[in-house]
Structure 1
């Protein structure tokens, strides 16, 4: 009975606060980032801010993306890969391509293509009706 009540309590707690496992994953990720050399940590934190605004909002999928980001930068730091070599000339292009590797990022890319196509069709239609 006590285990059932505890389980029910944890279930309600997670409904209110979110997954406890996701919170543990987030803390492990943040510890990994904190362990990076300065420039790499700065780059990851900047990417993280960008992803918080424009990246996948789903908890588990977002955590997979952040963990992959930590993997990339840990390996890059170990190999002493220059930051500019990681990002190329356009950091936004890099992060958009990075996000496209995740299901919600793929959805965003499809919607951008659909939007661009719709505007192009409307512009063509507008030219022919003049």
Structure 2
């Protein structure tokens, strides 16, 4: 199974999530072309990089992205001013704000617990 298939499976987990995703896509179509293209590019990166394991968290991340771009488009803010000089850093900061939904969050907790267990056993 590819990352894209997994992402679609996560989105399609419930009819409510499907509806939220459809609303997101409709909102994206309302953006000016340049902003819409930027959202598409950021979304692609997030999906391939993020490995979000919860449909709700992924949709919340996409909603946050959409709110930002809708507000900036309404204000006439150019795409470069939104994503800065480092679009990857911009996307990574979005992922950092939604880390609880990534598979790595579970592994981080596991590592913390393992080290805490090792240290408490030697005390």
Q: Give the whole-Å Cα distance in 1 for the aligned partners of 2:86 and 2:46.
A: 16
Q: Give the whole-Å Cα distance in 2 for the aligned partners of 1:26 and 1:99.
A: 18
RMSD across aligned positions (CA): 2.0
Query: Of 64, 69, 72, which residue of structure 1 is paired with 2:65?
Result: 69
Q: Which has the higher contact order (CA 8 A, sep 6+)?
A: 2
- What are the ranges of 5 or more consecutive residues in structure 2 without an aligned counterpart? 1-11, 112-123
When Rg is computed on C-alpha atoms for both structures, the one with the higher figure is 1
* TM-score with structure 1 setting the length: 0.67
* TM-score with structure 2 setting the length: 0.70
The 4+ residue runs of structure 1 with deviation greater than 6 A are none
- What are the ranges of 5 or more consecutive residues in structure 1 without an aligned counterpart? 1-16, 115-130
Query: Of 22, 25, 36, which residue of structure 1 is paired with 2:20?
Result: 25
Q: Would you say how many aligned residue pairs link Structure 1 and Structure 2?
A: 95
Q: Give the whole-Å Cα distance in 2 for the aligned partners of 1:47 and 1:57.
A: 18
Q: Give the whole-Å Cα distance in 1 for the aligned partners of 2:24 and 2:67.
A: 10
What are the equivalent positions in structure 2 for 1:77-116 lying under 5 Å apart?
77-102=73-98, 103-104=100-101, 107=104
